Amino acid sequence: MVVDNLSVEIREGEIFGLLGPNGAGKTTSIRMITGLLQPDSGEVMINGKRATGNDNRLNVGLCPQELVLWNNLTCREQLIFIAAMYNVRGHVAHHRADELLERMHLTEKRNRLARTLSGGMQRRLNILMALMHDPGIIILDEPEAGLDPQSRVLVREFILSLSKIKTVVFTTHNMDEAERVCDRIAIIDSGKLLVTGSPDNLKKTIGKGDVLEIMFSGNAPATSELAELSDEVKIIDSVMYFKSLAVIDKLPSIIEGLKSKDIKIKGINLRENTLEDVFISLTGKKLRD
């Protein structure tokens, strides 16, 4: 995916989420940050200085979306081997490996071949490999991909433990996970930056009020036909989204209005604003479309 004039500032010590659907340009962006891909124009700055390839290598730790493991190495050997690539050796490498394995609840697996672990454990090990040279910036590309519930909680707690100690950048299309851990978030789509801010501030950008979801069957009406029922109306697939202050008080009139248009209601759901709503408001589509 081509990145179009993307400009973001990531603050030292914060957890920064880069959100967007598949193909939005998230992975391309982190490849440029890590120096794996050179931008056609613009530059990457680290601590106020233009980053060179060596700066990226030493200052940034990357955990890619694809698992990177050596078949014949144990968990502990994986960490020590990756540390040696950054000239971290001896007691420092061994101590750091043991400490990180303990923090990610993998100590009991340290002498097992990594390829024999479950997918969730392999993902947790891959995250640790990005920290073995003690970089100031950690980039995690879809770190929750393929995780079982237990591993997802462990990874979330581990990322939160890095707050204020490391600068963490992670890409995801999971809005709920980003809302739980991020200090600030940038939402991108089709290679363009749509908005940046804290989760709370981003949710405020689409106004106060809850969201009423009404699932229906049959042909979708034009949104202009429903404008009188609520302050904001969107229709995506077979779901109508009504957004307004005190929207629950408008439910009787909304139902009557839909019945008068011969729209068959299949279900009703009332919920608070989410980051998904921010994305829908900005793009007119769901994050996973």
pLDDT at 53: 65
Angle at Cα 68 formed by Cα 65 and Cα 74, nearest 5°? 135
What confidence tier does 287 reach under pLDDT thresholds 50, 70, 90? low
Higher per-residue confidence, 76 vs 44: 76
Q: How many Cβ atoms from other residues are within 10 Å of residue 228's Cβ?
A: 10
Cβ 244 vs Cβ 232: under 8 Å = yes
pLDDT digits over 99-132, tens only? 999 999 999 999 999 999 999 999 999 999 999 9
pLDDT higher than threshold 80 for residue 257: yes
Report how far residue 197's alpha carbon sits from residue 177's, in angstroms, rounded to the nearest whole number. 16
Question: 170 near 141, Cβ under 8 Å?
Answer: yes
Nearest in space to 169 (alpha carbons), one of 288, 53, 9: 9
Q: Which helix (H) or strand (E) holds 147?
A: none
pLDDT at 146: 80
**The pLDDT of residue 55:** 64
Q: What is the pLDDT of residue 54?
A: 66
Does pLDDT of 81 surpass 80? yes
Task: Give 207's pLDDT tier (boundaries 50, 70, 90).
Answer: low
Domains and CATH numbers, the chain: 15-198 (3.40.50.300), 208-272 (3.30.70.980)
In order, the DSSP letters of 3-41 are: --S------TT-EEEEE--TTSSHHHHHHHHHTSS--SS
| pLDDT of amino acid 248 | 84
Distances (CA, A) of 246 to 4, 79, 206: 39, 54, 15
C-alpha pair distances (Å), 259 with each of 234, 243, 254, 263 = 18, 19, 9, 6
Q: What pLDDT does 288 receive?
A: 60
Report the pLDDT averaged over residues 175-193. Answer: 90
The pLDDT of residue 58 is 83
* Residue 232 predicted with pLDDT over 80: yes
Joined together, the tokens standing for residue 74 give 């144990």
Q: What average pLDDT does range 214-229 have in this prediction?
A: 88
Q: What is the mean pLDDT of residues 176-182?
A: 90
